Chain A
Amino acid sequence: MPTHKILAFAKVVLIFSIALFLEIIIWPQQLSGLRPSWLVMILIYWSISMPNTVSVGTAFIMGILWDVLLGTVLGVHSLVLSITIYFFARYHLLIRTLSVWFQMLLIMLWVLMIKISIFAIEYLLHGAHFQPQILWGALFSTMLWPWLSKLLQKIQL
């Protein structure tokens, strides 16, 4: 393995670790629904910009790690993330050409869908109480998308 490849791999691992760290760091209880979906956005960015490296398999592994960290039933996040990233990797050429506004709209819809489908799975498994507050997280994630994608663009792999 050439050195630059190892270095790039280390960068990817580091950034994913930071994303997972941000996912489990505590938020004020009243605002916990507003937490942006860091991991989802980072996965989406990379699946658009380099679909040959980061794609469904990576999404699956990150989903399992996310499940373990949150203590969710194993497979819930990995299922949802795999499907999301499949969509973005499949249409990466099209999505790259979209304007930032359209990209933001797309991100919002997918984050919403992820949150609702996680609720649906939990509900089917053993009943859950829906908290409408979680939907605000989608809006927060959307607003962060332009800055996050600029930041990730700066990080050369």
Chain B
Amino acid sequence: MAMKPIFQKAPPLGLRLAITVILSLALIFWDGRSYLAGGIRSAVDGVVSNLFYFANLPRNFLDGVDNVFSDKNKLIAENEALKIQLREKNASLLLFNQLKLENERLRLLLRSPLREDEYKKSAEVLAIESDAYRQQIIVNKGTEQGVYEGQPVIDEKGVVGQVVATNANTSRVLLITDVMNAVPIQVLRNDVRAIAKGTGLSDVLLLDNLPLTVDLQKGDVLVTSGLGGNFLEGYPVATITKVIKDQNNHFAQAYAKPLALLDRLRYLLLLWPTTNNSNKTIMPTQDDVRKIINERQTRLNLLHQLPIDKIKVDSDEESTKNTSEKGN
């Protein structure tokens, strides 16, 4: 009551209401289905995102208290257990690296595109409330750490989501269960492709408009197919919980449960796809590959018993097609 009006003669209240309502409705229609107003969002976010850090302070404080008062013996035991776990993981990684190289070599021989490699960085979920009707989280990495919109986010169990908005030090991740999200997937068992849509519930994904003859079973593991371009191929997403094949409908439906525990996320991994460096140096030419194939065919006796000539002609045709495409 003490303050004087900022404008000496303010426009009438009804007019102001009309303006704000029209502006709001325009924003809703613009931003409504696909976050189109990302520019405005990022600009305003830059101003208010400092609040994220304040809002996260209570948890940081409690974590600190927990660290100070934790038992020494417990820590030692935990450390031991972690070391053993690390050793086991490292041992299996040895084999993994070998398999990865072998896979790359085989792909080179087949002239199929190489799998993209990626670079990972850990991020932490901030304890921030977000819209009750959206499935999204805020993480403590932003453009200063190289995060970009559309970036894939995983955790140690499976795919979590993708980055939809960024600012300097925080970014917003849309979870795969949000109604606005859809992940292109394939079934690990038989490579059947589909699209997993979010439902707004944190433990249900929906695969709809599948053909009635689709080969899907309860318990099938779904992995990313990499077709959308955002996600790399082969990351586990969910397991099928229910397949509905109703003869009255023209399409089958399936429900899946995400592998990552999306309602209690704490540490995540951000992925940066990188072009494969390990093979750039030994990338063979077309002739080299042909030479290698010929060499192996002559060396392996078993292959002589197969109708090699036909296969060879096919592969030659394909490779010439590839070269002509490349030439273009």
- A residues contacting B by CB (< 8 A) are 5, 8, 17, 20-21, 23-27, 29, 32-33, 35, 49-50, 52-53, 55-57, 59-60, 63-65, 68-76, 78-79, 82-83, 86, 89-90, 118-119, 121-122, 125-129, 131, 134, 156-157
- Asked if B32 is an interface residue, CB under 8 A from chain A, the answer is yes
Tell me the bound Cα distance from A79 to B37 in angstroms. 16
8 A Cβ contacts from B100-141 to A: 127-134, 136
Task: Count A-B contacts at CB 8 Å.
Answer: 147
Chain B contributes a number of interface residues (CB within 8 A of A) equal to: 51
- Asked if B259 is an interface residue, CB under 8 A from chain A, the answer is no
**Interface residue stretch chosen among B15-23, B83-91, B148-156, B313-321:** B15-23
Task: Decide if A90 touches B13 in the complex (CB within 8 Å).
Answer: yes
Given contacts A52-B10, A75-B28, 19 further A-B contacts (CB under 8 A): A8-B3, A17-B51, A23-B129, A49-B1, A56-B16, A60-B20, A71-B136, A71-B165, A74-B28, A74-B31, A76-B28, A79-B24, A82-B20, A121-B28, A125-B28, A127-B179, A134-B132, A156-B2, A157-B3
Task: Decide if A75 touches B1 in the complex (CB within 8 Å).
Answer: no
- Asked if B233 is an interface residue, CB under 8 A from chain A, the answer is no
B1, B32, B33, B129: the one within 8 Å of A50 (CB): B1
A53 nearest CB neighbor, chain B only: B3
Task: Decide if A73 touches B51 in the complex (CB within 8 Å).
Answer: no
15 A-B pairs within 8 Å (CB atoms) are namely A5-B3, A8-B2, A17-B51, A26-B55, A33-B132, A49-B1, A64-B27, A65-B48, A72-B134, A73-B32, A75-B23, A75-B25, A79-B24, A125-B33, A128-B179
Task: Decide if B136 touches A26 in the complex (CB within 8 Å).
Answer: no
- Asked if B45 is an interface residue, CB under 8 A from chain A, the answer is yes
Tell me the bound Cα distance from A21 to B52 in angstroms. 8
Tell me the bound Cα distance from A90 to B12 in angstroms. 10
- Chain A's interface: helix, strand, loop or mixed, by majority? helix
Residues of B within 8 A of A75 (CB): 23-28, 31
- Asked if B59 is an interface residue, CB under 8 A from chain A, the answer is yes
Residues of B within 8 A of A73 (CB): 27-28, 31-32
- Asked if B226 is an interface residue, CB under 8 A from chain A, the answer is no
B23 to chain A, nearest CB (A): 7
- Asked if B215 is an interface residue, CB under 8 A from chain A, the answer is no
Residues of A within 8 A of B17 (CB): 56, 82-83, 86
| Smallest CB-CB A-B distances: 4 pairs | A75-B27, A79-B24, A75-B28, A82-B20
A83 to chain B, nearest CB (A): 7
- Asked if B99 is an interface residue, CB under 8 A from chain A, the answer is no
Residues of B within 8 A of A64 (CB): 27, 44
Residues of A within 8 A of B136 (CB): 71
Task: Decide if B27 touches A74 in the complex (CB within 8 Å).
Answer: yes
Task: Decide if A69 touches B24 in the complex (CB within 8 Å).
Answer: no
